[in-house]
């Protein structure tokens, strides 16, 4: 960790995606009762927060979001279920939850009935779980839910196999394959941008308030795998992510929706791009909202100062990780860029794959994570459970409407400040200066572009 990403175990990156080990089982359990979402008639219809789309522009777009965001991840099976969705809505009605992050496209392709030709052609049998998107939007609006559409972008084996010319290649010309057997599309391929942004526009017009891009990154470059070749590269890895997010804002802001990026939880705790193109200043200067996945179970004992058992130290993990995000955003603000609003993903699952080293996560662990977020001056968070099952942590949610908390004066611990100051010497100062340019849409790095086009090292 002393030299940032150089000694970060790449084996860890495989578990740092937006999910947990129970994803497959949770989805399978939910799949059985997937059906068209019933139109809700139990509450008086009212405009959801941010539904007035008459103004555009970065500041106007950001101002539409709720003052406080407290959310749940809702997989497509739960969103399309006649039995699961009402339970999740009741949870929102009764507690501080006011936001749903709903899958509309993931690694299995499109998850709703689309009118777009190519996504429709590539839809997988049995995976279009949201059969009636307008009815779902009516239901969420009736419950005054801030709606976020989750779109998995570059980890797309279905699109990659259908359009190999858009994909990451091996030096010999074949498709590059990751350790799990997945092929990826290239973050530099503008046809891939258009494919995903067409979907984003369609769901924005259907009524979603915010578009969240997940896997908005490069695949992990394990040393045991061939180099990745990106024939259309125009810069370094972070340049591609900035360029895509800038294009997303150009197309989506006129529709009145917020543009959001998910990033690894380690991104604010590293100077560089974690080898996947996610460099904190770059993304925070470009997106409207940034969601670092700060699940305590996903950290190693060396990742944060003084946090030796992260899964058993949920408060300390969030306080120190989010604290680094806070300091880096403050410095970005001082440089003249309004940084993205930070909304950490919190752990609402038990990391059983850790064996005896894990602890069950329930209401107390949730409260501790929330307090860690609040104590650095952030007000927002979203819970992740791959199966969208939150009963175990439900008592850790406050009853009634979400309330903004009085923000404490943040005095960073000495070790956090020391780490962030060290990042300045490891390239963050230069990254921040470049991020100011990228926020204006400028991305150039000829040497890195040539390396990415050929799969060679700089």
Q: Where are the domains of the chain?
A: 4-454
pLDDT at 244 over 90: yes
Position 53 scores a pLDDT of 46
Which residues, listed in sequence order, are joined to residue 229 by a DSSP beta bridge?
A: 169
Query: Tens digit of pLDDT for each residue in 96-155?
Result: 999 999 999 999 999 999 999 999 999 999 999 999 999 999 999 999 999 999 999 999
pLDDT at 34 over 80: no
Position 12 scores a pLDDT of 47
In the Cβ-directed half-sphere of 73, how many Cα atoms lie within 13 Å? 31
Query: Tens digit of pLDDT for each residue in 37-70?
Result: 444 433 434 445 555 543 345 788 999 999 999 9
**Interval 404-417 mean pLDDT:** 92
Position 55 scores a pLDDT of 38
Distances (CA, A) of 286 to 148, 279, 308, 332: 18, 11, 33, 11
Q: How far is residue 163 CA from its own chain's centroid?
A: 25
pLDDT at 375 over 70: yes
Position 168 scores a pLDDT of 97
Position 407 scores a pLDDT of 83
Position 57 scores a pLDDT of 54
Position 43 scores a pLDDT of 40
Q: Could you give the CA distance from residue 109 to residue 219 in angstroms, rounded to a whole number?
A: 18
pTM: 0.88
Identify the band that residue 31 occupies on the pLDDT scale cut at 50, 70 and 90. Answer: very low
Query: Tens digit of pLDDT for each residue in 169-223?
Result: 999 999 999 999 999 999 999 999 999 999 999 999 999 999 999 999 999 999 9
Question: Is the CATH number 3.20.20.80 carried by domain 4-454?
Answer: yes
Position 56 scores a pLDDT of 44
Position 406 scores a pLDDT of 82
Q: Could you give the CA distance from residue 351 to residue 367 in angstroms, rounded to a whole number?
A: 17
Look at 213-217, 247-251, 410-414, 451-455 and tell me which has the smallest mean pLDDT: 451-455
Position 435 scores a pLDDT of 84
Q: Which phi and psi angles does 169 have, rounded to 5°?
A: -115, 165
**Interval 248-277 mean pLDDT:** 97
- What is the chain's mean pLDDT, rounded? 88
Residues 6+ apart with CB under 8 A from 381: 69, 70, 71, 343, 344, 345, 346, 369, 370, 373
Position 10 scores a pLDDT of 44
Q: Are 327 and 416 in contact (CB under 8 A)?
A: yes
Nearest CA-CA partner of 284 in 259, 301, 304: 259
In this prediction, what percent of the chain has a pLDDT beyond 70? 83
pLDDT at 20 over 70: no
Position 260 scores a pLDDT of 98
Position 436 scores a pLDDT of 81
Query: Tens digit of pLDDT for each residue in 325-352?
Result: 999 999 999 999 999 999 999 999 999 9
């Amino acid at each position: 960790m002393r030299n940032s990403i150089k000694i970060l175990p790449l084996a860890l990156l495989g578990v740092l995606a937006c999910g947990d080990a129970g994803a497959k089982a949770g989805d399978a359990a939910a799949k059985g009762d997937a059906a068209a979402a019933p139109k809700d008639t139990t509450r008086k219809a009212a405009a959801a927060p941010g539904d007035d789309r008459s103004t555009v522009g970065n500041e106007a777009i950001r101002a539409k979001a709720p003052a406080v965001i407290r959310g749940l991840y809702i997989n497509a099976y739960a969103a399309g279920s006649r039995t699961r969705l009402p339970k999740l809505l009741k949870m929102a009605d009764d507690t501080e939850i006011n936001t749903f992050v709903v899958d509309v496209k993931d690694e299995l392709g499109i998850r709703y009935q689309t009118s777009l030709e190519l996504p429709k052609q590539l839809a997988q049998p049995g995976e279009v779980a949201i059969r009636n998107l307008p009815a779902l939007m009516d239901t969420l609006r009736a419950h005054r839910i801030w709606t976020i559409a989750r779109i998995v972008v570059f980890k797309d084996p279905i699109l990659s196999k259908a359009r190999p010319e858009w994909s990451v290649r091996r030096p010999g010309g074949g498709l590059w394959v990751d350790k799990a057997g997945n092929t990826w599309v290239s973050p530099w391929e503008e046809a891939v941008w258009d494919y995903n942004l067409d979907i984003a526009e369609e769901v924005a017009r259907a009524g979603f308030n915010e578009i969240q891009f997940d896997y908005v990154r490069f695949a992990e470059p394990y040393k045991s795998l061939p180099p990745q070749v990106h024939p259309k590269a125009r810069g370094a890895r972070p340049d591609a992510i900035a360029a895509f997010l800038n294009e997303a804002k150009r197309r989506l802001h006129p529709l009145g929706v917020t543009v959001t990026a998910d990033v690894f939880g380690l991104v604010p705790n590293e100077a560089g791009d974690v080898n996947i193109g996610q460099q904190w200043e770059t993304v925070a200067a470009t997106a409207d909202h940034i969601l670092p996945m700060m699940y305590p179970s996903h950290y190693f004992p060396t990742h944060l100062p003084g946090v030796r058992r992260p899964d058993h130290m949920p408060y300390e993990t969030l306080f120190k990780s989010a604290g680094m995000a806070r300091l880096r955003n403050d410095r970005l603000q001082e440089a003249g860029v309004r940084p993205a609003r930070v909304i950490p993903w919190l752990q609402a699952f038990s990391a059983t794959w850790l064996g005896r080293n894990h602890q069950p996560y329930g209401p107390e662990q949730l409260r501790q994570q929330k307090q860690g977020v609040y104590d650095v001056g952030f007000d927002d968070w979203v819970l992740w459970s791959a199966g969208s099952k939150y009963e175990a942590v439900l008592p850790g949610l406050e009853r009634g409407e979400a309330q903004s908390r009085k923000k404490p004066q943040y005095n960073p611990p000495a070790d956090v400040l020391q780490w962030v100051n060290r990042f300045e010497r490891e390239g963050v100062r230069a990254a921040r200066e470049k991020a100011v340019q990228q926020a204006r849409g400028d991305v150039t790095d000829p040497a890195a572009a040539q390396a990415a086009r050929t799969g060679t090292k700089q």
